[in-house]
Amino acid sequence: MKLRNVAMALVLCTVSVFAADVDGKWSGSISTPNGDFPVSYTFKADGATLTGSMVNMDGAPIPVTAGKIDGSNITFTVTIDFGGMPLVFNYKGVVSAKEIKLTTDFMGMVFEYTVKKA
């Protein structure tokens, strides 16, 4: 019984060692057909759950929802109110020490960009 508990503790410690350090502020820009668009995120990890916010064009925070962390991979959703119509953006990312490579799909157009730790 004790051996099993020790083994389980080692597994849990190993998982947290390999988990990405996503906590903090991240910023960058997305290249679009209409020019570069600045983006900024604040993330907080709680085990395998990712929370935080994205800064809207007017400076207001938009909550990150359905956030998950799996090693260095993250996924999350941001819903933007566009004149009463919700626009849902699903994100996938890979976190490294100083940057996150993000991918999102908007109406069939895939955007890939990198944000750096602020």
Q: Please state, for a pLDDT cut of 70, what percent of the chain lies above it.
A: 83
Is the Cβ–Cβ distance between 45 and 19 less than 8 Å?
Answer: yes
Instruction: Give the pLDDT confidence of 25-72 residue by residue, as tens digits.
Output: 999 998 888 889 899 999 999 999 999 999 987 889 999 999 999 999
CA angle (58 as vertex; 76, 75 as ends), nearest 5? 5
pLDDT at 3 over 70: no
Average pLDDT of span 7-34 = 67
CB of 7 closer than 8 Å to CB of 31 = no
Binned at pLDDT 50, 70 and 90, residue 20 comes out as: low
Q: What are phi and psi of 12, to 5 degrees?
A: -65, -40
Domain at 2-117: CATH architecture = Beta Barrel (2.40)
